[in-house]
Amino acid sequence: MRNILFLCTGNSARSIMAEAYMNHAGAGRWRAFSAGSKPARAPNPFALETLRAHAVPVPGDKAAPRSKSWDEFAGPDAPVMDVVATVCDNAAAEVCPVWPAQDDKAPSTLHWSFPDPAAAEGDDAARRAAFESVFAAIAERIDAFLKENAA
């Protein structure tokens, strides 16, 4: 099983949805995690609602999902990552921690830019539509990634 870490600034929307969808779509082949450089207090409720609407299990297993600092994944006891993917432009521009290497091989890095649905303005319907649009883009990108990395 390979590991992938999705990074964003707040770890409240895009990275949470990417983690959940990858664990759902890549089950048995990929184990996904998510974190942020400046984690929010909790995942965005619209992100969790969007995942549930698509029957995607919410990160956190039986515990409540939480936003996590990327520092949790840079320590010696952290799972070794095969891939680290930023999903927002802010996180891509930040200086990331050095990720533990496996067999002296650093993880591959990817940057997938998605707009921030948490920044959407308007009523709840408009905000839900923004989350739905970003979730669809994340799912499409992950599906393509899984197809390219089927081996």
Q: Which residues are catalytic?
A: 8, 88, 96
How far is the C-alpha of 52 from the C-alpha of 133, rounded, in Å?
A: 15
- In DSSP notation, 28-66 reads TTEEEEEEESS--SS--HHHHHHHHHTTPPPTTTTSPP-
Closest CA to 24 of 61, 47, 56, 49: 56
In sequence order, the 6+-apart residues with CB closer than 8 A to the CB of 138 are: 14, 17, 18, 21, 87, 112, 114
- φ/ψ bin of 124: left (φ > 0), alpha (ψ from -120 to 50), beta (otherwise): alpha
Q: Looking at the chain, how many residues does it have?
A: 151
